[in-house]
Structures are given as structure tokens and as C-alpha cells.
Amino acid sequence: MRAAVTQGLGSVLLEDRPGPGGPVAGETVVRVEAVGICGSDLHLLHGDLGATHEGLLPRVQGHEFSAVVAAADPAGSGPPVGTRVAVWPVLACGTCRPCREGRVNVCRRLALIGVHRDGALQEQLTVPTAAAVATPTLSSVQAALVEPVSIGVHAAARARVSPGDTVVVFGAGPIGAASALAARDRGGDVLVVDPVDARRDLLARAGFGVTWAEGAELAGQVLAHSGPDGPDVVLDTTGRAALLPTVLDVAGHGGRVAVVGLTSATAPTSPGPIPFKELDVLGVSCCTRDEFAAAADLVARHPALADSLVSHVFPLDEVAGALALLDERPTEAVKVLVDVSGDTRLPTGPGAGDPMTGAFR
Ligand SMILES: [Zn+2]
Ligand SMILES: [Zn+2]
């Protein structure tokens, strides 16, 4: 079978590999359909995961994916052959303190399919049966979006978004859109902030408030949405270190701030607003199994919005091109998918495939 293998930093080659053997109890073999490429894939590609990067390469990447069951769990517990699934990529030890507390997404020995284990940029792989969530009503494209949407579900849950809360989401990429959708689903009144017209338009068409302004004017735009008390919740999905002072600045007194975007960059930030306004500042990493299933349900209730997030589809033998697009021209893309099965098409419909310019980077 074909597998796109990240051989070393910045190098991805297509290899012919033997397929997985038959699954043992607790495992399911799946045939991969579509795979989303995300910012964390680029971190691995470029070796900027720091000390945690040791021993990760060579690796088949791909942690956001849809697949069809090719060989069912012999224990008989899992989805039958032919079922379309989305796969929760979290592998947790089950014994460390966060695992014992049910926060398996921050397991001390966390391993992710597609980062620490070979992932979905290959034709077939073996996954834990418990991680395979049946998505019978979703298309292969929509099922591949469950993983990024699950980050938004976890972000909105971490920030305890409640009915009537005013919520400001920084960033209108796939994670920003997912966070906005999850926050609205919990009853939040959502404003999305992004400098890119096309990204704002996409979310405005989905019924979200959107805005952008430079510098101090941005706080005014946010207050115009939330009222003078400021927003109850701010979700920062941008991964931009330099934006954090603005995020803390616009949050309302007693508010919750969830930081979703990963970065190793630094920028000066005063801790002052955190005690002064007694902000709850919360980190967001991956999600729990229940939240992943909730994300599949959320996508099923909003298929058109999910479709509209996909801007590009590349064949498996052009994975390097998909990565290069996100790396070199990120503002032209929203969600880039790799078509592993050979029958994934770019969704058509309002907003699908809009070119982007000038996003948060
Ligand atoms: Zn991702
Ligand atoms: Zn653990």
C-alpha cells in the first residue's frame, strides 16, 4: 500500500509499504478516505517541537481523518466492515494523574496518532476500536473535519460557555470556525475577529458576528458587540504570541480566556490583567473521547458549514504540495485535505474554496 512518509525535516516521500495485518481484540483496521493537514503537522515537519521531537521521524503523519472499517475488531465490539468512522487520535496511558482525573487529553505520556504513531497519510492503518466513532450520516470530507471541530468543542467546554454569554473568537481558520460553532451551540452570542475578508465572509454567511480593526480600534469593536462589561469568554485560536496582550485586554472582568493556538514564539505580555480582572486563563489541548463524539454530532448538524471550511483537496502523491501550500501561502487556504482513497472531491456550495489573503500569521 502507499504511504506518505515524513523522512526527515522538510522531506515527505511516497513509499510502498506492507498493509497492516488482521486486527487483534481491541483493534480495528481502517481504509483511509480523507486527511486534514493542520498547523501541528508543519511543526513536526520543521522539527520545531523542541525536546519532544526526539525519535518522532520517520513518521506517517495525519491525525484528522475519515476512514471506512476494512477489518472489524475480532472481539465483536466495534463498528462492522464498511462503516465510515472518524478516529479520535489520542492515545493515553490511563494511569497518570490527568488520566486518573479523566483528562486523558493531557496525559503525561500522551501519544497522538499521526505524531507519535504512524497516522492516516497511508491507505490503511490499525486504530484502537474505542477510538473509532461511527459517522454514518457524514461524507468522507465532513468526517475528516470532526477532529478539528473537536478542538472547538473542547475549547468551548473549557471556557464554560453558557447560554447568553458573549463570546469573542480570535481567528477564523478551521479551529476558529469550530470554536465559534461550538460556542454558539452552547448558547453563546459569538463575534469572530480576523483580518482576512474572505474568512470573515465565510463565517458571516454562517450567521456569526464578524469584525476586524487595527490596534486600539479593535477593542472598541469588541465592546460594541459585548456591551461595556466586555465579553464573558475570549477564545484565542490564532497561535500568535503577539496577540495575547489584546486577548487579555478585551476580556471582561471575571471572564474566561481559552488559549487554543500552539506556538513556540514569544512576545512581551503583562500578567497584570489576569489578577486585575481575575481572569480564568485556560489552556486547550486535543479533547476527550466524549467531546470527540460530540464534535461528530455537531458536524452532522452543520454539514454545509463543515463543507465550506475545505478550500483544497490534494491527492496522496501530492502531500508535499499540500504541506507547502499551508506552510508558504497559509492565507490562501482554510482546511487543506489529502484524498487518500482517490474519491474525495472538493465540496461545492457557498463559501467553498474561497482564496484567502493576509490572515493572522
Ligand atoms: Zn490538527
Ligand atoms: Zn496518562
* Closest ligand relative to 102 C-alpha: 2
Label the pairing between strands 256-259 and 233-236.
parallel
Distance 349 CA to ligand 2 centre (A): 42
Distance 224 CA to ligand 1 centre (A): 33
Distance 106 CA to ligand 2 centre (A): 7
Please, what are the domains in the chain? Answer: 2-145+309-339 (3.90.180.10), 150-283 (3.90.180.10)
Distance 150 CA to ligand 2 centre (A): 20
Tens-level pLDDT at each residue, the chain (361 residues): 999 999 877 789 999 999 999 999 999 999 999 999 988 888 888 876 655 667 788 999 999 999 999 999 999 989 999 999 999 999 999 999 999 999 999 999 999 999 999 999 999 999 999 999 999 999 999 999 999 999 999 999 999 999 999 999 999 999 999 999 999 999 999 999 999 999 999 999 999 999 999 888 999 999 999 999 999 999 999 999 999 999 999 999 999 999 998 888 899 999 999 999 999 999 999 999 999 999 999 999 999 999 999 999 999 999 999 999 998 888 788 999 999 999 887 787 544 444 343 344 3
* Closest ligand relative to 104 C-alpha: 2
Cα end-to-end distance, the chain, whole Å: 36
Q: Using an 8 Å Cβ cutoff, are 150 and 291 in contact?
A: yes
- As a whole number of angstroms, the longest Cα–Cα distance in the chain is 61
What is the dihedral sign for C-alpha 343, 349, 355, 358? Answer: negative
Cα(143)–Cα(134) distance, integer angstroms = 9
Quick one: which of 32, 8, 11 has its CA closest to 20?
32
